[in-house]
Chains A and B, each alone.
Chain A
Amino acid sequence: MTPTASPTAGDTSAHGVFDDIVGSESSLRRFLHGLPGVDQVGCEARAAGLATRSIKTTSKAFAIDLAIRMVDLTTLEGQDTHGKVRALASKAMRPDPADPSCPATAAVCVYPDMVATAKQTLGDSGVNVAAVATAFPSGRAAMDIKLADTRDAVEAGADEIDMVIDRGAFLSGRYMDVYEEIVQVKEACARPDGSSAHLKVIFETGELQTYDNVRRASWLAMMAGGHFIKTSTGKVQPAATLPVTLIMLEAVRDFREQTGQMVGVKPAGGIKTTKDAIKYLVMVNETCGSDWLDPDWFRFGASTLLNDLLMQRTKMTTGRYSGPDYFTLD
């Protein structure tokens, strides 16, 4: 069963379109459990098949630059300092100081208390600041604390909020709680001037157990109004995988067919090499089409990936292999 609502114009926030479905706990459950089941073998085979595509020369150069523009350069460590965040922000603006033609990354992703520092360094460079809020990475805190966490980050200047869903509630079937949580966090993303920070919803797919649950979580988050759906925090193994991302891409594709509204996808964690990144880009193009091949609609949550992309980029321009000595560590 899929929603039968017709696309609406303008702000297609879920309210209205999905009123019937999210009206009650039971109708929401009926809808989510009525979603077609994922064929596990088929999904994994499809993801593995797409990963074998060979991308060379000009296509590869395009893919590398696009991937750099899609990186959310991330540092989410207890040991983060203001200095490290400033260094990271500088790197996000000029990933390869030796080559001015190298594009900037999409965003810098930090803990809420580092938002102001990152914002100060980035200024109006066009690189966004994303903050992980809502008691990241476990999400185990009272609702008002999560909301305060979010408001703090938005107030400090965050352009994007990465929230984690309550996996405990999701796994025990309290879908309405998860839905309400996302809706409330989205409201907390609003700024006084009427605009609002973009909301990314992290599922932590490594804890969701089944592909069916990933599909359900995707629809739930999209109906609640998330601008992006994101695989993982990066703190739990397995993090992003190709099959999981494929399911989420199918979900955003189907969601646009139903509602006309585009939702972004962000795989995060475990994507370390250019080869991996290109596999994801191939999958995006083959599943959702080229509309999603844009930093506004697809992101990589990564830290080490950027250096590998830069090394590959240097290899393509100089014709010789580069080494990690020539790029900053963080």
Chain B
Amino acid sequence: MSRIDVRKTYKLYIGGQFPRSESGRSYVVNDAKGRLLANAAQASRKDARDAVVAARAAFGGWSTRTAYNRAQVVYRIAEVLEGRREQFEAELRAAEGITAAKARTYVDAAIDRLVWYAGWADKITQVVGNANPVAGPFFNLSTPEPSGVIAVVAPRGALLGLVSVVAPLIITGNTVVVIASEDNPLTAITLGEVMATSDLPGGVVNVLTGSQAEIAPWLASHMDVNGIDLTGVEDAELATELEVSAADNLKRVRRPAPDTDWLAEPGLDRMTQFLETKTVWHPIGV
């Protein structure tokens, strides 16, 4: 007796839930050879708006957790990802048409990247914070604090690329609305399932799939978004337009980097880019 296929409906990941697009739209996602792989939800500006609301709501709780606890949660994402590696390897091979060995390399790297960033959670303050010498009877302390809600346009690398842009933001206490790669959105939603089952509070990471050119301008001009990472924007004109509208509320902007080698050591700048430095003057001897 043949069994009927149980096909998966790929939806969005907003506020810890997996809703369909408010617009009811979807679009066809093909594999590397141009054959139908699945339909993905095509997010609208209202989905982006809802995602920002969810990210803002999650920010207070997430940013005030101890760095140690955030590290545990991100490490847990790596653990769960490790347990589901076959699924991710299969998805990467289907979506990007790469060999089994290559797929394994990418999944390994994605897991290692999460562990690496998890380790930074309670160390970044020591590295970029400082006790400043001042000419007066004060302790003068600079500490990094998360910027707030960050919009991210994810690069093409369906798993490693996404992990590499999201992990450094959430580890420092930001919350994120990420537009997944337009061509390879499915792995992003599967990664959403991993995050939903890894103690990551709903709304800390929100994943939208759909047209970059349609959604990104709404996030760039959104007054309640504190920063935007344009890593995955490949159209130079769109990038300029996004930077201009981001200037309205002085968002921090990370400029496009389409040719990044995601397998290389990432460095600290993805974490430090979206941190604000708070400096406190505290009187001595009072």
Contacts and interface: CB of A to CB of B under 8 A. Distances in A.
Interface stretch (B14-22, B63-71, B107-115, B218-226): B218-226
A321 B55 CA distance: 15
A320 B221 contact: yes
Nearest to A314: B223
A320 B49 contact: no
Nearest to B249: A323
Contact of A323 (B218, B223, B245): B223
Given A320-B245, A320-B248, A325 B222 contact: no
B224 A325 contact: yes
B204 interface: no
A44 B224 CA distance: 36
A324 interface: yes
Contacts of B56: 323-324
A323 B53 CA distance: 9
Name the residue in B52, B221, B224, B248 with the highest tally of chain A Cβ atoms < 10 Å from its Cβ: B224
A326 interface: yes
A112 B279 CA distance: 45
* Secondary structure class of chain A's binding surface, majority of residues: loop
Contacts of A326: 223
A13 interface: no
Interface string B185-219: 00000000000000000000000000000000010
Interface string A290-330: 00000000000000000000000000000111111110000
Contacts of B224: 321-325
A82 to B, nearest CB: 29
Name which of A322, A323, A325, A326 has the most chain B CB atoms within 10 A of its CB: A323
A325 B223 CA distance: 8
A113 B245 CA distance: 48
A262 to B, nearest CB: 38
B165 to A, nearest CB: 22
Nearest to A324: B224
A276 to B, nearest CB: 15
Nearest to A321: B222
Interface in A226-244: none
Among B52, B222, B225, which residue has the most Cβ atoms of chain A within 10 A?
B222
Contacts of B52: 321
Nearest to A322: B223
A324 B222 CA distance: 11
A319 B221 CA distance: 9
A320 B225 CA distance: 11
A320 B222 CA distance: 6
A325 B147 CA distance: 14
Nearest to B218: A321
Contacts of A321: 49, 52, 218, 221-224
Contacts of A325: 223-224
Nearest to B52: A321
Contacts of B245: 320
Contacts of A324: 56, 224
Contacts of B49: 321
Contacts of A319: 221
26 contacts: A319-B221, A320-B218, A320-B221, A320-B222, A320-B223, A320-B245, A320-B248, A321-B52, A321-B218, A321-B221, A321-B222, A321-B223, A321-B224, A322-B223, A322-B224, A323-B56, A323-B222, A323-B223, A323-B224, A323-B225, A323-B249, A324-B56, A324-B224, A325-B223, A325-B224, A326-B223
Given A320-B223, A323-B56, 16 more contacts: A319-B221, A320-B221, A320-B222, A320-B248, A321-B49, A321-B52, A321-B218, A321-B221, A321-B222, A321-B224, A322-B223, A322-B224, A323-B224, A323-B249, A324-B56, A326-B223
Interface of A: 319-326
